[in-house]
Amino acid sequence: FFFFFFFFQAEDGIRDFCLSRGLGDVYKRQEYYRGVLTALREAGIEPYVNLYHNDMPAVLFVEGNGRMDPEFPMHFRYYADVCFQYFGELVKYWFTFDEPWCQSAQGLYEAHERNTKPYMIGYQMILAHAEAVDVYRQKYEEQQGKIGINLNIEMFWPNNTASAADKEAARRNLMFQVGWFWNPIMTGDYPEVMKSIVKTRLPAFSDEQKKKVKGSADFLALNHYFSWVTSDGYNRSVNTYNADVNATNGRKPEWKRSNIGFSIVPEGMYDALKFVHETWMKDSSIPIFITENGVSIEEKEREKGLNDTERVDFMASYMRGIEKAISEGIKVTKYFAWSLMDNFEWGKGFTGKFGLIRVEFDNNYKRIPKSSLRWYSQLIKDSEL
């Protein structure tokens, strides 16, 4: 039950390496993973470990109710405790969950569950996150590490910039996405707009839970790929999470798209960071990490795949948005490119090519550096960013 993804940030080459792992028989596998982490450190690579990346062990569904199980937060606490115990002296940066919004809002639900179950799963994941942070801070302070959470953020702009309703719909989208999980960590409770719309379908935090959730992050990790224009109103009559958000999202015709349909809008990076900063971080010392950012391009032909100038252009333009944010005092301290190598991209399978290293799956998994890898490595060596 282990799933891996790799991306990196570096100061003078490949220096940071991110590893996602799920619950499994860590008692049998601990030496293997200690070996991996030790090898990374010996090579001068800082490992960043993600505890959960959508890889729930089947036993928790068979013998329980998965993330809906009331015991899930404590299961996660125990699992995190084991990881901290075995690997904590080798790992100084931990992420509890990767993109809990995707795992909550985009789940496959029965019709009668679509406006309730997403919120229950989100609630459970927030509590599980807080439990992992709590046990880390209580028992492993001497490891001197940091712990946070990865949240995906898309940028939403009003389709009609003169429409107050569209402006509110854009903000509502952001609060229902990143605010759903970050607002409790910063304030102890959900965003007011969620509470006012979802009402009793939104599981309430007890006073004790609010106390444990609030402040449960040493950093905010954001994954950003694409953006939308949004209009107020949702044209489906079925009661769903999307009906609660009550917004219809689209793309401007002039926007470029990747080969898997992601809109390429560099200004989305800066505006997303600015929204997060102004909403939650103005008076906070918590840093922001960009833990996923990249583009998939068509690479059927080897020569085109290796000379991936489109990816270089994408990364450079999105990084300019980060540079602008930093110049305005927004505390972005780390950037990770998605991804080190071509891999299995969820519903897109092997058609999504995000890697800085080409993997030829039909040629014994041969790995060949692309132009983007050389460009990025040189950028890191030459730049403060």
Among candidate residues 99, 131, 154, 310, the one labeled active-site is: 99
The separation between the first and the last C-alpha atoms of the chain, rounded to the nearest angstrom, is 36
Write out pLDDT tens, residues 18-39: 555 444 455 667 888 899 999 9
- For 171, the token pair is 């903000």
- Which pairing describes strands 263-264 and 256-257: parallel, antiparallel, or unpaired? antiparallel
Among candidate residues 46, 131, 154, 292, the one labeled active-site is: 292
Helix, strand or coil for residue 108?
coil
- For 60, the token pair is 């928790």
pLDDT score of 168:
98
Write out pLDDT tens, residues 345-368: 888 888 899 999 999 999 999 999
Of all residues in the chain, the percent with pLDDT exceeding 90 is 80
**Is 89 a known active-site residue?**
no
CB 219 within 8 A of CB 289: yes
Q: Considering only residues 160 and 18, tell me which one the structure prediction assigns the higher pLDDT.
A: 160
User: Does residue 9 carry a pLDDT above 70?
Assistant: no
Whose tokens are 């994954």? That residue is 223
**Is 292 a known active-site residue?**
yes
Task: Convert 274-292 to b/e letters by CB count within 10 Å (16 or more is b).
Answer: bbbbebbbeeeeebbbbbb
Confidence of residue 300 (pLDDT cuts 50, 70, 90): confident
Distance between CA 347 and CA 336 in Å, rounded?
22
Give the helix ranges, DSSP H, for 202-247.
207-213, 241-245
Give the global pTM.
0.93
Distance between CA 312 and CA 320 in Å, rounded?
12
